[in-house]
Chains A and B, each alone.
Chain A
Amino acid sequence: MSPGRAPDVVIGIGNPLRRDDGIGPALLAALHDRLPPTVDRIELDGEATRLIEAWSDRRRAVVLDAVCMGAAAGTVHDLRIDPREPEGTPAVGTPSVSSHHPGLAAAIELGRAFDRLPRSLRVIGIEPEDLDHGAGLSASVDGSCAAAIDLVIEALA
């Protein structure tokens, strides 16, 4: 399928049993009735080839994930990935995209190398505080979810 034919997609990545690693699925659930019905929603674990399959024929894709960039816990990140630029173009002014999960960075690289990126890819995430075993988000992350959700709605408007 040529890029851009399939509906826009929002992809939540993470493991809800690793505390703040569950940011992606938590945001995805919170967005349940706040996105146009035409937008596909997919929960993934972050494995690179599944990510590629999920976004490769889309015009727009938004990935929700815990993003570790050394900022204060709860910081909302909004990274815009340029399909043509090897370094990407993160909106927050850091040199490269960095997620705690190697899958996302690998998926972006792999997608770029094999022409399997959507035309527009944004990674909207929150700096995690706690990635230990257990359920539930930490308070600093939970308090930032509303801002992240607004960004997703704006990105897919």
Chain B
Amino acid sequence: MTHRAGGSRRLSTGALARVEGEGAMHIDIRDGELVDVQLNIYEPPRFFEGFLRGRGLEEPVDITARICGICPVAYQMSACAAIEDALGITVDGPLRALRHLLYCGEWIESHTLHIHMLHAPDFLGVDSVIEMAQDHRPEVERGLEIKKIGNEVLSLLGGRAIHPINVRVGGFYRVPTVAELQPLRERLLRGRDLAEEAVDWVAGFSFADLDIDHEFVAAQHPTDYPFLAERIESDGGVDIAVADFPDHFEEHQVPHSTALHARHLGHAEASTDDADDATDAAAVRFEPGNYLVGPLARYSLFSERLSAGARAAADRAGLGPTCRNPFQSIVVRAVEVLHAYETAIKLVDGYERPDLAAVPYDVRPGTGHGVTEAPRGLLYHRYQIDENGLLSDAVIVPPTSQNQATIEHDLWHFVEANLDLDDESLRRQAEVTIRNHDPCISCATHFLDLTVSRT
């Protein structure tokens, strides 16, 4: 679709509908020089934060699950973690194991959708998964089965296929018996084998050379690969309690987006002097302190904690202990799917039904912080609870808003180095640059509209 507006040429497309959701990207080129790159994301959590105020402390678990159709469990897990922190209760043992298992199901579904339906076409030279029906049918069929088994985990533990209704503060409304969980084991074993094949498949793709130097930030657990967390770590020296997140990471408004952008405060202050000396346009355009959450960050910080099969598959795929190439994020996601399967099998094997489906609690006023690792990265919730058990404040910081400035940064460097491409090629390759980071622009409906303007 071509629009003409004033003296500038604009191309727009809905093709980035392959990134889940809604939003827009604009590239502005004047006199052959890149002037601006903007990724505009309409961020529903802002609405949800207001919607939650005045509601009961049990409500965020179900309401925030509606923020995203792809990762409702992540919103439930971070909501539970924050509210349980405020109430001073700990959910551990088999209840924690069940939450971990439920989360594995979501990672499997979300990552597998991105790998097979959205990302793989970029490496196979086709426009969409529809075109893979001809030459890559078995791989797509395999992807559908890997994803379906993940959904079976969600359905069994969550009570239904979408927006699980079985999760509550303190645990679950009902927990399965050992016998109810057992049939899942065979299915998980099947999924594990398919997931291993999928790693080997995507490892065979060709990857452009790119080495990003953004700070990697991920939730941390003393022994597990990041899912449910206790602290927050970065390769820039951050090692903080979850409650200290607001002191180190800040969301701020930028003029071109309704979504807030996040930055690492300590890093921002430390880098300011460098920015003053820099003369290039990117340094002027971008404030320092941007960072990256998600698969590359988790993998690079904690790859030694992957399950044995996932670690071996990563080695076979040629991934080292860290991975800084966003194009290879498809391999990291595939490795994480295999890790989720192997973790799920272990959790099912070790499961003993708890006496109580949920840890009881007494309502008390306070503020709680919660962080877990959504498929797309660190998801932070904070709730302030009053003496009647009602929420007086709610703050939600999703992974995509944290990554937004970093994605723009990557786009800037890509576009600047490829200004000689025609608009169509530029648009298509810019889409790939965005898709590498799997931004959840959605959390709702509609398309991403992409425009290139040259004057």
From B160-168, B185-193, B358-366, B393-401, the one touching the partner chain is B160-168
Which one of B44, B140, B144, B148 has the highest number of Cβ atoms from chain A below 10 Å of its Cβ? B144
Are B133 and A113 in contact (CB-based, < 8 A)? yes
Give every chain B residue within 8 A of A42 (Cβ-Cβ).
Answer: 161
CB pair B69 A43 closer than 8 Å? no
A16 and B17 contact, CB distance less than 8 A: no
A15 neighbours in B (Cβ, 8 Å): 66, 69, 444-445
Q: A35 to B82, alpha carbons, bound, how many Å? A: 42
Judged by a CB distance under 8 angstroms, whether B151 is at the interface is: yes
Interface status of B147 (Cβ within 8 A of chain A): yes
Known: A18-B444, A110-B129, A113-B130. A45 touches B137 (CB 8 A): no
Q: Tell me if B444 and A44 are in contact (CB < 8 A).
A: no
Binds B, one of A46-54, A77-85, A88-96, A117-125: A46-54
Complex Cα distance, B428 from A44, in Å, reads 30
Residue of chain A at shortest CB distance from B147: A49
With a CB–CB cut-off of 8 A, which chain A residues contact B47? 133
CB contacts (< 8 Å) of A16 on chain B: these are 66
Scoring A residues 9 to 29 as 1 if CB is less than 8 Å from chain B, else 0, what string do you get? 000000111100100000000
Number of interface residues of B (CB under 8 A): 30
Question: Quick one: which of B17, B63, B140, B163 contacts A45, CB cutoff 8 A?
Answer: B163
Assembled-state Cα–Cα distance A130/B220 (Å): 41
Q: Interface SS of chain B: helix, strand, loop or mixed?
A: helix
Residues of B within 8 Å of A44, CB to CB, are 161-162
Contact of B130 among A52, A54, A110 (CB under 8 A): A110
B149-173: contact bitstring with A at CB < 8 Å (1 yes, 0 no)?
A: 0010000000011110000000000
Contacts of B445 in A (CB 8 A): 15, 18, 21, 100-101, 131
Chain A, Cβ-Cβ closest to B69: A45
A114 engages B69 (CB within 8 Å)? no
CB distance from A49 to the nearest CB of B (A): 6
Chain A: minimal CB distance from B92 (Å): 31
A-B contact pairs, 16 of them (CB 8 A): A15-B66, A42-B161, A44-B161, A46-B69, A49-B148, A50-B151, A50-B162, A52-B144, A53-B144, A100-B446, A102-B17, A102-B447, A114-B133, A114-B140, A131-B445, A133-B47
Nearest first, the 6 A-B pairs at minimum CB distance are: A45-B69, A113-B133, A133-B47, A102-B17, A113-B130, A17-B66
Chain B interface residues toward A at CB < 8 A: 14, 17, 20, 44, 47, 51, 63, 66, 69-70, 113, 117, 129-130, 133, 137, 140-141, 144, 147-148, 151, 160-163, 444-447
Interface residues of A (CB under 8 A from B): 15-18, 21, 42-50, 52-54, 100-102, 106, 109-110, 113-114, 131, 133
